[in-house]
Amino acid sequence: GSSKEETTQTGSSAEQSSAAELSSEDIIKAAAENGSVGNWGLGNEYEVLALLSKYDLGSDYLSQDFTMDGFDDDSITLASAMTYNELGLVKNDYDGGYGYGDSVEYIDMNDEGVAMLEDNIFCTEDFAKENPNTVAAFLYASLKGWEYAVENPEEAAEICYTYGSSVSAEHQAYMAEEVAKLVTTDTQGETVTDIGNMDEDAMQQTLDIAKEYISLDDSDADAALQSLTLDDIRDSSYLEAAKSSDGTFDVEKSEVSIQLKWLPDAQFMGYYVALDKGYYKEVGLDVEIVAGGGDIAETTAVNNGTVDFGVTWVSNLASANAGGMNLVEVAQIFQRSGLVLVYKPENFE
């Protein structure tokens, strides 16, 4: 306990003295040469790879396990963190957090121009074609949920709780705040008002980075990936139908499910709010939210029909389609990358 606070203080004083002078390029170079850049891999690494390549650095990085312990003990000096999750744990000193406060700094992928878009809503193309109204209705209600959630993050966090969230209350509140930022700000830092919008430039950038850094051993799949265009992975017609609707739908399938990308928490607060506030009911849908976070990838689950909708990242969707699935993104919830590389300035003096 006490030792933690001391380090925190020395950390922050060190920061004031010198680290501010270092550019992000210096830091990345120093960390990469040290072999101590961290990422989780498993499809989370492309932005980091793009960043490394931007500065002509090798593509080696250390694998981070679930924890930030590697960052804590300095075996990883430049660690990946999602703004709405790991970054909070690093900074905050609530139960489970590492309590570094503002003594740590980070490099934002959006600022570096290597941002990739994350959480979206998708389904199979066949499903969308057969159930256009259901898709539109689902989007309508979900977006309504998200709108409410970003305006009332505190309440949204509490709602997540009632649906079996598995994080602590303080962290949930923090997450909700940060997720709201991702939903309402784009890669350029501009405020976004039409939630769910599939921004052409950002998506193209995401796809381009994906094409460059996703390496597939399967040569057929690799060729398919290289020839993917935005039209192969997204369809904005359902979003338009939802936006232009008056809120009444003639749904083809009323019982639908959505598989999240991870365990239930505020990262997915929009859906929980929509469910809790009865938005889904209003459009005639009976929605089941299936928690993710595991070894049955959301793309697989949607593709084999176990669930109807899924939340995934654009890059995952691209590689799945390259592998032979036929999935379409129907809305883009997160408008900017949530990935940052966090570091302790004193390590780079």
Partner 1 sequence: MSAEVYKKKKSLYARAKSSKKAQAAGTIIFPAILGAVIFILWQSQGLHKILNTDLFILPLPTKIISLIGSNFADIMVNVKTTLIEVIGGLVFGCLLGYLVAIAAASKPNIGKGGLAVLGAFASVPVVALAPVMNNWTKDVSSEAEVRSMVAKIIVIALITGANMCLNSYRGLINLPPYAEDLMATYAAKKKWVLLKLRIPNSLPYVFVALKIAVPSAIMTAIVSEYFAEYISGVGREIRENIVLAQYTTAWAYIMIACVIGVGAYILLMVLSKAVLKNYPKQG
Partner 2 sequence: MRKFKGLLEKKWFSTIFWIILLAAGWEIAAVYVGYVKRTPENILPHLYQIVAAAISKDPVSADMTATGLVLSAAAATILRAVVGYVIGMIVGFILAVLMKMSGIIEKMFFPYLMLILLIPVLGMAPIVLAVTGDIDKSRIIIAAILSFYPVATNTLAGLKSVPKEQLDLMFIYAAKPIEVYKKVLLPTAVPYIFSGLKIAAPMAITASILVDTLQGDGGLGCILSQSLKHAMSIYVFWLIVFFSAFIGIGSTYLLGGIEQFMLPENRNKRKIKRKVMKDERRSLQEKEELICQSKI
Name the residues that contact partner 2, by CB under 8 A: 3-4, 7, 65-69, 72-73, 85-86, 89, 95-98, 161-162, 164-169, 171, 259-260, 262-265, 290-296, 300-301, 304, 306
The residue among 49 and 183 lying less far from partner 1, judged by its C-beta, is: 49
For residue 341, the surrounding DSSP H or E stretch is strand 339-343
78: Cβ contacts below 8 Å, ≥ 6 apart? 27, 28, 31, 32, 36, 37, 38, 107, 341, 342, 343
| Site membership for partner 1, residue 297 (CB under 8 A) | yes
Whichever of 245 and 347 has its CB closer to partner 2, that residue is: 347
Kindly report the CA angle at 332 between 28 and 205, in degrees rounded to 5?
45
Q: Does 206 bind partner 1 (CB under 8 A)?
A: no
How far apart CA 330 and CA 137 sit, in angstroms, is 12
Residue 323 binds partner 1 (CB under 8 A): yes
Q: Are 272 and 160 in contact (CB under 8 A)?
A: yes
Q: Which CB, 70 or 132, lies closer to partner 1?
A: 70
69 binds partner 1 (CB under 8 A): yes
- The SS3 assignment for 286 reads strand
Q: Does 35 bind partner 1 (CB under 8 A)?
A: yes
* 3-class secondary-structure state, position 193: coil
Q: Determine contact, residues 130/57, Cβ cutoff 8 Å.
A: no
Residue 54 contact among partner 2, partner 1, none, beta carbon within 5 to 8 Å by kind: none
Select 76 or 289, whichever has its Cβ closest to partner 1: 76
- The distance of closest approach from Cβ of residue 49 to partner 1 in the complex, given in angstroms and rounded to an integer, is 12
Are residues 111 and 78 in contact, defined by beta-carbon separation less than 8 angstroms? no
Q: Which residue among 126, 190, 218, 255 contacts partner 1 (CB under 8 A)?
A: 218
Of 110 and 299, which has the nearer Cβ to partner 1? 299
Binding partner at 168 among partner 2, partner 1, none, C-beta below 5 to 8 Å by kind:
partner 2
Q: Which residue, chain included where needed, has tokens 């590389």?
A: 341
**58 near partner 1 (CB under 8 A):** no
When asked if residue 216 is in the footprint of partner 1 (CB under 8 A), the reply is yes
CB atoms within 10 A of CB 306: 14
Tell me which of partner 2, partner 1, none is bound by residue 236, counting a contact when its beta carbon lies within the kind-specific cut-off of 5 to 8 angstroms: none
Burial 163-189 (b: 16+ CB within 10 A, else e): bebebeebbbbbbbbbbbbbbbbbbee
Q: Which residues bind partner 1 (CB under 8 A)?
A: 35, 41-43, 61-67, 69-70, 73, 75, 214, 216-219, 221, 295, 297, 299-300, 303-304, 316, 319-320, 323-325
